[in-house]
C-alpha cells in the first residue's frame, strides 16, 4: 500500500465510521472524503462501495453525476462558472468560451501547469447578478471577460 493509498484508506474508513448509520450516507461520505483529500480518488470508490454494500458502478455513478465531486485534485485556483439559464441569458456562453480559450482547457479540466481548474456549476443562487461564478470560493456576480482576464493574469497564467 502506498502512502497515498494509506491516506485514502484511512480517510474512507473514518468517514464510513462516522456516517454509515446515517440515512443515505453516500453523499455525506463523498463530501467528507473530498473535503479531506480534495477529490474522490478512483481508489476510494471500491472502499466506499464495499462499506455501504453498493456496487462500484453505483458509487462511481454518483461521483460522476454531481459536478461538485472531483476525481482528481483541483489546481491552485478554481473557477466555477455558472452555466445555468439566467447566467447563459446574460452572456454566460461568451464568458464560458472566453474562459476556455484563455485557460486553454475545457470544463472539468485543470491546466497542465496546475494553476487553474475550470468547472461548470448550475446556479449559484446569484441569478440577479448574472453571470456568476465562484472563484476560489468567493462568489462573483456580473462577471465579464475583462474581470476574468485580470483575475487569471494575477495568478500568473501565461497568455
Q: Among 8, 40, 48, 87, which residue interacts with ligand FES (rule: CB under 6 A)?
A: 87
Number of residues this chain uses to bind ligand FES (CB under 6 A): 11
Tell me the C-alpha distance between 156 and 65, whole Å. Answer: 32
- Binding segment toward ligand FES, per CB under 6 A, in 11-19, 39-47, 78-86, 142-150: 78-86
For position 80 contacting ligand FES by CB under 6 A, the verdict is no
Q: Output phi, psi for 134, to 5 deg.
A: -110, 115
For position 82 contacting ligand FES by CB under 6 A, the verdict is yes
CA angle 87, 34, 113 (to 5 degrees): 70
Q: 20, 12, 15: which is closest to 46 by C-alpha? A: 12
- Binding segment toward ligand FES, per CB under 6 A, in 24-32, 61-69, 70-78, 118-126: 118-126
Tell me the C-alpha distance between 64 and 39, whole Å. Answer: 12
For position 124 contacting ligand FES by CB under 6 A, the verdict is yes
Amino acid at each position: 500500500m502506498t502512502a497515498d493509498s494509506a491516506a485514502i484508506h484511512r480517510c474512507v474508513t473514518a468517514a464510513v465510521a462516522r456516517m454509515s448509520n446515517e440515512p443515505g450516507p453516500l453523499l455525506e461520505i463523498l463530501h467528507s472524503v473530498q473535503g479531506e483529500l480534495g477529490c474522490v480518488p478512483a481508489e476510494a470508490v471500491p472502499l466506499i462501495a464495499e462499506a455501504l454494500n453498493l456496487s462500484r458502478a453505483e458509487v462511481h455513478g454518483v461521483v460522476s453525476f454531481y459536478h461538485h465531486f472531483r476525481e482528481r485534485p483541483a489546481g491552485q485556483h478554481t473557477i466555477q462558472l455558472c452555466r445555468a439559464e439566467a447566467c447563459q441569458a446574460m452572456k454566460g456562453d461568451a464568458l464560458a468560451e472566453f474562459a476556455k480559450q484563455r485557460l486553454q482547457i475545457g470544463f472539468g479540466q485543470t491546466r497542465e501547469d496546475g494553476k487553474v481548474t475550470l468547472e461548470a456549476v448550475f446556479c449559484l443562487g446569484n441569478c440577479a447578478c448574472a453571470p456568476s461564478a465562484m472563484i476560489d470560493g468567493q462568489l462573483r456576480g456580473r462577471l465579464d471577460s475583462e474581470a476574468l482576464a485580470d483575475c487569471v493574469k494575477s495568478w500568473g497564467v501565461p497568455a
